Structure 1
Amino acid sequence: MAAAQATPSPGAPGGRPARLRSPVGLGWAVVVLLGLVILADLYALWAGTVQRGVMDDIIAGEYGAGIQRDLERADSLYDYSGIAQISALVATCAVFLVWFHRVRVNAEVFEPHIHHKTRGWTIGAWFVPVVNFWFPRRIALDIWDASSDRSVALDRTLTLDPTASRAPHPLLNAWWTVWVANLLIARVTYQVYVGAEEAEEIKSALTGVMFSDVLDIAAAVLAIVFVLRLTRMQDLKARSEDRLPVRG
């Protein structure tokens, strides 16, 4: 793909030109890290299953030193799984944001006039309360449309009408729906788990937390497909422009 090579976008905010840079390496890094997120979630599901088993024994009336050891082991496993999940999530978010900003800049080169949000929102939108539930999706939609075959080649002046109807985005919508649902459910179920004291309450709370882990896995899988497709779309679009040098 073209690396730091393109005519400055006429719609570049603040006069700073947008230039193409390959998203391929970053895209694969995000995919690998999302794979680690999935592994961490699977570990958490296993640890949750172990802890539920101990809760079943306690509910059944089993007591003693053996149960106490099992309980301590289950608690340790679950704590470790939480650390693994947080570590994988933080690393993935950091690299994903770098990738997301790069594909946004590339999209501005492809189609400078269809973007509803400035480049700064590419990072900031994820951290502003409330608006982070729809601004990132809006940005992703614009990036996708600018990178698709429907958009106009780099060396032409005609651009997509930003008010015109867009093609459906089933993959992006599915990923965003599952991700937001998991975000909301995870907050509620974690608070219930923290407040649980009796074995029955802990077991019930664990079921909710484990359900959110399953949703997180689904969101990660959809995110992998989204990242791979968008990265490939941008790479192919840049390579299709004969005037641009192709680089890995």
Structure 2
Amino acid sequence: MPAPRPVPGAAPHPRSPIGLGRAAVAALGLVIAVDLFAVFAGFKVYDVMGDLVNGATGDAVFHRADAAESLNSLAGKVQSGSMLVCVIVYLSWFVLVRGNAGVFDPAEQSMKPWWAVVGWFVPLLNFWYPRRITLEIWDASSPVGARRSHLLVNVWWTLWILSLLVDRVGYLEYGESAGDIRAAAGQTMIFDALHIAAAALAILVVLRLTRMQHEKALARAGVPVGL
């Protein structure tokens, strides 16, 4: 049976964000798990390099150093893979809720829909455009007359920006001495810790926005929630 054709002039319907919201939460959870593994691997490097800095020698300590470096390298590769998956899933959800926000309150959306993707990747602009879009989605999705607190979004975004800045600092040139490698490992662990905190708050943002949009769609008289 052919799908019904859209009725010209019909009001657009919001789409259910629940499926992609759950997928985004799962992807962010994966990132947290992998980051925890990376913290463990980074600590192994930090610990053994501390021994070398303090003058430890012998086959045992060098074997530990090699094992720690291998584990840390594996953690980096797994992190890259988990982040790629998360970016794809999260942006799919973000585009969907941005589209729904345009249905709920078009006047609230000051930016074109394509900024929901492009805004994350344009240098400098990506320090505030995604937050701005998120806040506009948040306001459009909030219940009518409800107090619109942006605290959760602002704290999440602050941690995300801090993690980016620490990551940039981590790209500064270090030497190949045990002390330099130890310093780099410590810097990486700080980044991973901030990244974990930001991902945990991102989960809360996804859950809250998904629930608000679902409830608002149900509250709209005569407007079905698309599946």
- Residue 116 of structure 1 corresponds to 110
How far is 1:197 from its partner?
1.7
2:188 paired residue number:
209
Instruction: Classify 1:124/1:151 alpha carbon distance in 2 versus 1 (closer, same or farther; 3 Å).
Output: farther
C-alpha spacing 1:244/1:86, structure 2 compared with 1 (3 Å) = same
TM-score in terms of structure 2 length: 0.90
Structure with greater contact order relative to length (CA < 8 Å, sep ≥ 6): 2
Q: Quick one: distance in 2 between partners of 1:223 and 1:102?
A: 16
**Residue equivalent to 1:178:** 159
Secondary structure of the residue aligned to 1:26 is helix
Could you tell me whether the CA contact under 8 Å between 1:20 and 1:105 is conserved in 2?
A: yes
- Tell me the SS of whatever aligns to 1:61: coil
Q: CA–CA distance in 2 between the matches of 1:215 and 1:180?
A: 9
- The offset of 1:9, in angstroms, is 9.2
Structure 1: where are the runs of 5+ without partners? 1-5, 11-16, 153-165
TM-score normalised to the size of structure 1?
0.83
Give the partner amino acid of 2:133: I
Q: Is the counterpart of residue 56 in structure 1 residue 50 in structure 2?
A: yes
- Indicate whether 1:221 and 2:200 are aligned: yes
1:199 to 178, 184, 189: 178
Contact 2:13 2:226 in 1 (8 A): no
8 Å contact 2:15–2:225 — kept in the other structure?
Answer: no
Higher helix share: 2
Partners of 1:24 and 1:241 in 2: CA distance: 17
Query: Partners in 1 of 2:78 and 2:145 — Cα distance?
Result: 41
Equivalent in the alignment of 1:237: 216
User: CA offset at residue 54 of structure 1?
Assistant: 1.0
Selected match of 1:146 from 123, 140, 157: 140
**Contact 1:110-1:151 within 8 A present in 2 as well:** no
TM-superposed CA distance for 1:72, in Å, is: 1.0
Letter in 1 for 2:209: L
Instruction: Give 1:79 shift.
Output: 0.3
Count of matched residue positions in the alignment of Structure 1 and Structure 2: 222
Instruction: Using the aligned pairs only, state the percent identity.
Output: 44
Give CA-to-partner distance per residue, 1:212-246, whole Å, 9 cap, x none. Answer: 11000000000000000000000000111231235
Report the counterpart of residue 28 of structure 1 in structure 2. 22
User: Residues of 2 paired with 1:94 and 1:190: CA distance?
Assistant: 25
Tell me the distance in 1 between the aligned counterparts of 2:160 and 2:69: 27
Q: What residue ranges of structure 2 are gaps of 5+ in the alignment?
A: 1-5
Q: Secondary structure at the match of 1:197?
A: coil
Partner of 2:3: none
